[in-house]
Amino acid sequence: MTDARPRLADVGYDTVVIGAGLAGLTAALRLAEAGQRVAILAKGVGATHLAPPTIDVLGYANGPVDSPAQALPEFAAANPEHPYRQLSIELVRASLDWFKARLGDHGYRGGLDENFFVPTALGVAKPTALLPETMAAGDLREGGRFVFVGLRGLKDFFPAYLADNVAQTPLPGRASVTTRVVELAPPLGEARDVSSAGFARRFEQPAFRESVLTELRRNLVPGEIVGFPAVLGIGGAREVWRELETRLGHPVFEVPTLPPSVPGIRVYDTMTSALRRQGARLVIGSTVAGAETGNGRLEGVVAHTAGRPLTYRARSFVLATGGFASAGLELDSSGTVREPVFDLPVAGLPGQNAPLFEPGYFDEHALSRAGVAVDESRRPVDDEGAPVYENLHAAGATLAGAVPWREASGNGLSLASGYAAASAILEVIS
Ligand SMILES: Cc1cc2nc3c(=O)[nH]c(=O)nc-3n(C[C@H](O)[C@H](O)[C@H](O)COP(=O)(O)OP(=O)(O)OC[C@H]3O[C@@H](n4cnc5c(N)ncnc54)[C@H](O)[C@@H]3O)c2cc1C
């Protein structure tokens, strides 16, 4: 008979982070860089593998936002329960600078003062504060003649639809945009993988790039800006992108695809490599469910893996388990919303008997704002505003008060709040 009691996972840590999305990776990396012993426990990868890699801080607030720095104070004042209310402009700016420095290999560009407007997979001009260099030439603000490249066989990328929508998308100012499509049929070789990741691996092979270049060159007109699906390699994407620009003699950019997100995987790979270099422990495939507590503090968390449960002890903990999409929040069949790891109080819900959902799919559903409310030290609080545990902090899509997809604020909030959680922990120990 096996003993089902949790075993203690080797030594204790300074901080255990639960979740390996952008919020958890940010908090963990900052803490590890500050010399902490850090463990990251995650059920699986986060939204990095699904979402574009752009850092959208604030894209919409009564219409498209040109400058997040200018729009944020008014936005936060008008939305007192929003997480940005507790994150100062200086902190958000610092988190962007920190991220740009960590993602140096991908040449992130931008900042808080101006949004780029770049096409989504569906051809909407999306405002975003930071983007990888491989996407920068897709900025639609200045207008231009855009060519979208289709790759025969690539699953879930629709260049004609994209080009049509970009041509019609409302743009700031008077930018004028024309679009067209060039469909290529490079040989796919033996590999059967027609996903974005499969094409990204092909782009890392010189012979595949050569056939793309040969076919594409014949089809371009001087002055055109060339948009590829975001599959220009995984580790070596920047080199692939540079080679295409140089050899085509045209600006080249990547357009995010539908999931999986190859450029999001690049972000994950870069951050987890940095974490490993800092000596952090990353345990993917580990679901945290349960805690050991004492004197108002969390002593340890219980993680379930393929083997037996393990207890991880630490001085501080960060909850970065995401929103409903990652099961950081759960809605049961009776309409009750739960935070499943610690059963924390859930804020942001409408009053009793008020509906959680509106009739239209794109309506603003009350449920979207549900999540965990935190104090200034980023600690989840109860209905009275008191911290539930002295040493538990929360970050990312688990937080109450935001509607990220409507605001275009998801990755910006995860980055800034993960950064802030690490700051709060470092302040306590300094
Ligand atoms: C398809 C898609 C497109 C998007 N597009 C955009 C966009 O264009 N712009 C934008 O800004 N935002 C976008 N977002 C939103 C954005 O990606 C998220 O808001 C943000 O990145 C969430 O990060 P996070 O770290 O808080 O959570 P997540 O990335 O969801 O990570 C949560 C982590 O917690 C882990 N976890 C959950 N429960 C447990 C548990 N019990 N034990 C252990 N681990 C657990 C998960 O496995 C995961 O590792 C998009 C999201 C999706 C899904």
Residue 274 φ/ψ, nearest 5 degrees: -65, -40
Which residue is closest in CA terms to ligand 1's atom 51?
51
**CA 56 to ligand 1: nearest atom:** 11
DSSP character at residue 169:
S
Centre a 10 Å sphere on the Cβ of residue 63 and count the other Cβ atoms it contains. 9
**CA 55 to ligand 1: nearest atom:** 11
Centre a 10 Å sphere on the Cβ of residue 376 and count the other Cβ atoms it contains. 8
Distance 21 CA to ligand 1 centre (A): 5
Burial (CB count <10 Å: 0-12, 13-18, 19+), residue 211? middle
Which residue has tokens 């700051």? 423
Distance 321 CA to ligand 1 centre (A): 8
Distance 317 CA to ligand 1 centre (A): 18
Distance 388 CA to ligand 1 centre (A): 24
The answer to whether the peptide bond before residue 340 is cis (omega within 30 degrees of 0) is: no
Ligand 1 pocket test, pick from 43, 329, 413 with the greatest ligand atom count within 8 Å of Cβ, gives 43
Handedness of CA 248, 253, 255, 256 (dihedral sign): positive
**CA 19 to ligand 1: nearest atom:** 34
Give the pLDDT score at 190. 79
Distance 318 CA to ligand 1 centre (A): 15
**CA 341 to ligand 1: nearest atom:** 41
- 83 in Cβ contact with 378 (< 8 Å): no
* Separation between Cα atoms, residue 272 and residue 266, nearest integer Å: 10
What pLDDT digit, counting tens, does each position of 100-156 carry?
Answer: 999 988 899 999 999 999 999 999 999 999 999 999 999 999 899 999 999 999 998
Centre a 10 Å sphere on the Cβ of residue 254 and count the other Cβ atoms it contains. 27
Give the pLDDT score at 8. 54
HEC readout, 185-199: CCCCCCCCCCCHHHH
- Ligand 1 environment, Cβ below 6 A: 18-24, 41-47, 50-52, 56, 259, 287-289, 320-322, 325-328, 341, 396-397, 404, 408, 410-411, 414
Distance 256 CA to ligand 1 centre (A): 17
Confidence of residue 429 (pLDDT cuts 50, 70, 90): low
Distance 20 CA to ligand 1 centre (A): 9
- 414 in Cβ contact with 22 (< 8 Å): yes
358 pLDDT more than 90:
no
Which residue is closest in CA terms to ligand 1's atom 25?
21
* Separation between Cα atoms, residue 192 and residue 157, nearest integer Å: 17
Q: β-strand 392-394 against 310-319: which pairing, if any?
A: parallel
Distance 2 CA to ligand 1 centre (A): 35
What pLDDT digit, counting tens, does each position of 297-352 carry?
Answer: 999 999 998 778 999 999 999 999 999 999 999 999 888 999 999 999 999 888 77
Give the pLDDT score at 11. 57
Distance 296 CA to ligand 1 centre (A): 29
Distance 93 CA to ligand 1 centre (A): 21
Distance 27 CA to ligand 1 centre (A): 14
Residue 12 φ/ψ, nearest 5 degrees: -75, 165
Which residue is closest in CA terms to ligand 1's atom 22?
397
Handedness of CA 114, 118, 120, 126 (dihedral sign): positive
Ligand 1 pocket test, pick from 16, 405, 406, 413 with the greatest ligand atom count within 8 Å of Cβ, gives 405
Average pLDDT over residues 171-190: 88
* Separation between Cα atoms, residue 421 and residue 17, nearest integer Å: 10
Which residue is closest in CA terms to ligand 1's atom 36?
321
Which residue is closest in CA terms to ligand 1's atom 26?
396
Q: Which residues pair with 318 in a beta bridge?
A: 17, 393
What pLDDT digit, counting tens, does each position of 297-308 carry?
Answer: 999 999 998 778
Give the pLDDT score at 1. 45
2 pLDDT more than 60:
no
**CA 41 to ligand 1: nearest atom:** 43
Indicate the pTM of the whole model: 0.95
Domains detected in the chain: 7-51+266-429 (3.50.50.60), 122-258 (3.40.50)
Which residue has tokens 């041509």? 167
**CA 323 to ligand 1: nearest atom:** 30
Out of 31-40, 147-156, 171-180, 323-332, which region has the weakest mean confidence (pLDDT)? 171-180
- 151 in Cβ contact with 159 (< 8 Å): no
Which residue is closest in CA terms to ligand 1's atom 16?
410
